[in-house]
Structure 1
Amino acid sequence: MGLTVDRYRELEQPQALRRKDVVLMATVTSFEELEHPTKSELRQFAELFAPLFNASSDEARRQAVAALSRSAHVPSAVAFFIASQPIAVSAPFLIHSPCLDDETLVTIARTQGGEHARTIVQRENLSTTVVDALVGLRHARSVAKSVTKPAAKHAAATPALSEAAPELAEAAESEGRHLREEALRTQIKQLAAHLSRPSSDRLGLRTITTVQEALLVRFARGREADSFATTLADTLSASRWLAERIMLDISGHQLATTLKGLGAGLEESLFILERFYSHLREIIGDVCRSQILWDTLDAEECAARIEAWRRADQYTYATPVQKPDAAEPVVRTSASQRPKLRAVR
């Protein structure tokens, strides 16, 4: 007799559905208790979460997402999966999760629409990168509201101050006006910076051109490994040997590192990786292995790795200028003597 109406409704649910809800919450709770999860535990959680989530009720989904929004160890694939859910489910995660980096937030705002973008605005300490992206997506009004939030709170306190002391109220109103003006100036500067900054500006980093990217996609589509390696070497301004070594990494990690470090597009990069490395097409939950691999890479670290490879490559293949009377002759390896690159299966 002490059961609530909600409890009665819960009992009316099919037994299998309630069991899956329990399994989902038990999985999330167990993951929360891991202070420092290992790579194996993170991978296992990523593989289990999506199927359990999809099979559970809406209420269980909301509870699971709310719990994970406090965790600092949510795998990137799971974080992207949750952030892409309908806003009624994903809102707490978008606002509070420390596992959403700038790149993921911008991607979610671009692909999921206005509701997700307006929710992202509610995060504390939004970076300039995310703010600029939201401005570019014409969510400036929402961004302006978040920027001027301190001023709004200050203005809301003015009536109480006016009752206590008119002089304090006047000072508070003046300060609130000043804050609003500063927020507006900041917003205008951000908008101007966004409009004036060229899309190809990667702060001096080596960047793939549109033509090079199109050629890589074309050769990947036909699985033309030799032509792909030649184009990749040209893109890196490096030897063909370095391009071949990158492609011969059967995990696909080195090619993914190269593409991300060069600033290649997401869709094009995933297509290339899946064409040359078939295991990256495998679906884990609702996410391809190629996407999981891509999300684990940091763009700046990838760019630094590329430059390290290029320096080593230049050192290895630089041909020293020798005098005619040198004690030993210069030995050069012809192209026919190098191992031929085979198409990666």
Structure 2
Amino acid sequence: MRRKDVVLMATVTSFEALERPSRSELRQFAELFEPLFAASSEEARRQAVAALSQCQTIPSAVAFFIASQPITISAPFIAASKCLDDQTLITIARTQGAAHARAIVRRENLSPMVIDALVGLRHAPEDVQAARVKPMVAKSQPDEAEDPARDEALRERLRAMAAHVVRPESDRLGLRTITAMQEALLVRFARNRESDLFATALADTLSASRWLAERIMLDISGHQLATTLKGIGMPRNEAMLILERLYHHLDELEGGVPQSEHLWDTLDADECGRRVEAWGRADRYTYEERRLTAAEPAANQPATLRTASSRS
């Protein structure tokens, strides 16, 4: 065992010395690390993980492997390594349990995406939480077992972080986001003032009925369309063009600035996203209700009449 520990640490030390490891060196390290790690003592594993937590570049497979180890080994790596991207951190939090989530919370500069995922994880139903935490508890030290007071403190910290974080506009956090093709179509139809085609393209972008798209456009102030465009992540310049082409008053200057910009800047991207999603849910509910209502008369017809009608 002692010999294998030495080999593991020598391999890690050699890898650390590589300032910019090549693709082949990364692949070779990934192939060597896991079997050496498995054959070494727990103390050697801790030392190896602590050393690798300071490396700037590690194969993604190795980073995920280390972060998935028991928290007594992986904690320093999870809390400090720059080789764990947001998606990996979220996966680790969801699959490994509360102790791993607490280690993630100790990281500096958590992204809004990770913060929201951690908040959502802590608010999951209790039976789901128990299923996620159970495997972790079995391999944790006694002080890492579930502690209600500690968990509540974690929840409060996450809530505070989520409430004060400033999210970049590019961070959509699961909201509907316009595609490049949809963006190009909306801009084209707005530039040509083809409102009928614009409404069709907007309905397709929202995965909604034509009725919802027309209702949004019928707000002559342009507020609802601006809310929609910001809610689906339309770039600012393209949104300005659309609003000014479809609503002429928004092209007028106010204090040397087009009214479209004043309107756009008063809107909060997160709130717009939530509003668009709410409109979409209401539209789907209404559309389904209409479809069922229209189907009822046919369903209530005598069987012979329905058969004759279908043949015709």
Question: Into which bin does the TM-score normalised by the smaller protein fall?
Answer: 0.3 to 0.5
* Larger proportion of helix: 2
More RCO (CA 8 Å, sep 6+): 1
TM-score of the pair, normalised by structure 2? 0.44
Normalized against structure 1, the TM-score is what? 0.40
